[in-house]
Structures are given as C-alpha cells and as structure tokens.
Amino acid sequence: MDWLIGVLGLFFGFSALVFVHELGHYTLAKWNGVRVKVFSIGMGPYLISFTKSETVYAFSLIPMGGYVKMLGQEDLNVDLEPANIGKKNSKDYRNKSPGQRAAILAAGAGFNLIFALLAFTICYYYGVEVDAPRVGYVSSDSPLAQAEMLNAKNERVPHPLQEGDLIRSLDGVPVRSFIDVSLYVAGAGRDHEIQVDYERDGVPVHDPVFVRSRFNAQIGAPYIGMERYGKKETHKLGFAIEKPVRVFVDEAKPGSPAMRAGLLPGDEILSIDGQPVQDLSTLPKAIKEADGKEQTLGVKREDKNLNIAIKAERIEEGGKTVYRIGLQMCTSPVEEIDETCEAYEQGLRKGYFLTHVEKMRDKDHLYVEYENLQASPPAKGKLILPFNSRTKSGLLYSFAPPEQVEIKCDTFVEALALAWSDLVRHSTAVFTVIKGLIMRDIDPKALSSPLGIGVSIFQTSVQRPFMYYFWFLAFLSVNLGVLQFVPIPLLDGWHLLVIGIEKLKGSPLPQRFLEYSQYAGILIILALLVLALSNDIRRMF
C-alpha cells in the first residue's frame, strides 16, 4: 500500500508542477491569440492524447518535464522571419510584440510562484507540521559547540549551544522550521558570523550569541552543525536495543584510512589510544585531539581482540584543518526480540542493527531500516510496524523522532501574509544558492537531479502527512519557478533576455547566434543533469 501511495504521490507531484508551469505558457499564449499546437505533460511519444480546437493535449511516455508547442516557436530551428510575409498570420508566436512574447514566456514561472503562494496559504491556514528549529545532538567540534556570547562588558566568551535550544532567528531573520535554518546558513556562505537568537528551557537568551559557519565538504555547503532534535518515545514493539551503548563499524569508505587499516563492517570499536569508546562522539573527538598522529584502535572482531594502527587524513575545510578516517559507525544491536512480534515476522533478528527509524505519515506506524553486519555482504531490510504491535513480551523500544511544530494562522489574511513572506524568502534563497555556486561557497556536489527530487517526493508522500506533502510541492514549485528565470539557453530566462535585447536593439538577433546558443544550452543542461545525477547516485549508494 505504501509503495502505491509513493508512486501516486511521485506521479501527482511531478505532473502537478509541470502542469502548473505549462498552464502558464498555455494561458498567456491563448490570451494573446497564439495558436498552441501541443500541450504535453511528459516528454517523448504520446501515451494518451486527444485534439480539441487545433491543440493536441497529451500525456507522454517519459514522466519528466513537459512542454507547450506554439505556432512559430522553434527552439532548435530558429526562424525569426514573420510567418507568411505579405499575409501575416495573427496566430503565429513570431508575429507578436516583444511584450506579448515576454508575457507568454514569463507566465510559466509566474504560475509556479502563484501556485506556491496559494499552497503555502492553504497549509498555513489549515495547519502544517514541520521539523522544529530546535538544536539536536551537538558534536564537540561543530560550530554550535564553539559559539560565543557578547556579555555585558562587551567581551566575547565561549557559549556553546546545547541540545534542546530552540532557535528563533538568525541575523534577525525569523525561522520557523529546521529547513529555514539550513537554507539561511547555506546562503550565508562559508566563514560567516551569524547572530543566533534562541530560547533555552523556554527562556529567551537576550545577550547576543554568534556562530561562525563552516564549509562542510561532505554536503558541499556551509553548515553550523545543526542536527534535528528528537523527543524520546517508548513503544511496546517486542524488541529492545542493547544497553549500554556500544559502537560498531557500519562502513569503511573505499580508499580511506579506515579501509587501508583493515576495519570491517561489524567490528566493535572498544577504545582509541586506551580511551574507552562509549558513544559516536568519542572517536571524532580523540582523532581531532591527536592532530594527525598515528593512533591505536582497540577492536573486537568476532571472538578476537585486535589492536589496529590508524592515521587520519588531513583535510582543509573552509580554511580550517580537520582530520577524517572515512568511517561510518552505528550503535548497539538488537539485544532481545520476541519471536511472536511483528518485527520478528518481518525479518528482524537479535544482533541486527537499526540504521534508520522514522514515524510514518499516519503517526501510528514506525518505518525501520536494518542491517545484519555479520552477513557477507551485509544484509539489509525494511520494517513497517504498528505501535500496537502484536507481542507476548513486554519488550520496549525507545527512539527519538524529530520534534514537529505546527504552523497555523487564525485568519486567511494572516496565512496569506505568512505565505507571501515565505515565497519571498525561498525565492531569494534560490538566487543566493546560485550566487554561492558561482562564488564557490557551495560545491556543485550539493545539486540534486530529478532523480533525487523524485526520491524526496516519494518519501514525503509515504512518510509525512498530506499537508506537509502539499507544502513540499509548493517549496519545489518556488525553486522551479525561480530557476526558469536564470538566463541559460533553453530556459525561459534566456528567451526573456533575448527579447529584451531585441527590444533595445530594435531588431532580432542573428539567426545563427540564436541557433548556436540553443545547442550550447543543451550541453550546459546535460552537463548539469549528469553532475546532479551523479550526486544523487553517490548519496544513495
């Protein structure tokens, strides 16, 4: 059932965004008397089509993108000569004024932004739950742990942010969700000092607190070490995790110091230079303090205790030296499990590790991913468990799902005002990200392709309530609309630029230039798609 919901959510999501965009072009073309030859959702051969009033309406085979084909508009076979010279065709796109053509082109992105505004308004009026901007786990070397406060004597003193602190604004800009924080930090650039206003235990902290952003090579963007905050819940699911916490190797990245040292999935890390490793933060802290010197890991592999020498790699990130050994870790395995419980029936066993746990959209089920690190290669599986699981034992499982906060306005006008504010905020963030890519504050590895976006839509439709899914589509619609204004050949922004130059010049640009620019656009778009697709594949595998 969840696969069906995910597929339907994915299909509806992509189709809705494309439909809204192409509807903008279609509506303004009709309004200005241009004949629309084809209105297609998707690309390639038609799956379903019908013709009405000189227009073919179609769903096409490839469910990516879509198009409106107008009489006289050819992207790759440009002909700027007016149609039927001497017998002017009023339905030909080329025969329309620069202002009319610009309106037709801008309408696609404009409709995406209008859709986003309306969708945000509906979400905020009826209420939508988003991840709270509350600080989760804070590692000892993260920017949040190195925050400073300006005290009454105008002195800078260390003031680390703590797990549970609720962020209210960044540089005076209000934030209402975790994604607001992430977008603002990414747009602020690397090595940027950010003033953080927050609450601790429900009490506002009035003295100015400053956090300096740092470039994170893994995600390819600036960050402050913000993790989602999870509020602990306990449910009778028929299995329990081993206590106290122990740390195991999940993966040693190819070519990393961890792989060269011979660490294997399933190895239990007992110590580093004689210091016990009791949680996931102990090892990174010890590696940082060693400053690149060789260290000794105490490792348990099956029934053997081993001492493994390892030396971290030195990496420069945002002007700061950090050390990495290329190791992904996980904590304690399942210690006990009732053979009558549903988790056991779905494949979970004693000794398996839970690698991902999340509440599903109905909030009555738990989505779990697990691994058996003892298998070769490690075996993986998924569970969907109701909170009222069938079990004969009293075994309890505790987890901490991300805290949710509801955004809900009392009046429609208030919701509209908040929606407009977010539309402006997210639109500005897109341009800020583009600027960051140009200035190298953001690495191209942070880009995502339609594959990654599709995975996000699929997961959101399965795991989150409908209103959040609707909000997420609005967020994507903002991004799609704004990106269309970027002046890259093939995009609407390029055509608008050409029309603007034509208006100033008083005559069309040379036909050969326009044709070559379109081919250049194809190469640019393909290169960006290949890069973004490789990023998504790397993240997935």
Active site residues: 22
CA distance 27 to 34: 10
Q: Which of 210, 112, 87 is nearest to 160 (CA)?
A: 210
| 3-state per-residue secondary structure call for 217-242 | CCCCEEECCCCECECCEEEECCEEEC
345: its two tokens: 């029936």
Tell me if 102 sits within 8 A of 473, measured CB to CB.
no
What is 142-178 written as a DSSP string? SGGGG-EEE-TTS-EEE----TT-EEEEETTEE--SH
Residue 412: which H helix or E strand, with range? helix 412-439
CA distance 433 to 416: 26
Sign of CA dihedral 382, 388, 393, 396: positive
Q: Which amino acid is at 364?
A: D
- The gap from C-alpha 247 to its chain's centroid, in whole angstroms, comes to 28
Neighbours of 460 (CB within 10 A): 23
Q: Which of 136, 157, 137 is nearest to 147 (CA)?
A: 157
Non-local (6+) Cβ contacts of 403 within 8 A are: 131, 132, 134, 228, 229, 230, 231
259: its two tokens: 């792989």
- The gap from C-alpha 263 to its chain's centroid, in whole angstroms, comes to 31
Q: Which of 8, 27, 28, 4 is nearest to 16 (CA)?
A: 8
Tell me if 527 sits within 8 A of 95, measured CB to CB.
no
Tell me if 190 sits within 8 A of 441, measured CB to CB.
yes
CA distance 159 to 162: 9
Tokens 């996931």 appear where? 280
CA distance 494 to 509: 13
399: its two tokens: 């987890």
CA distance to 16, 68, 476, per residue, from 45 (Å):
20, 15, 26
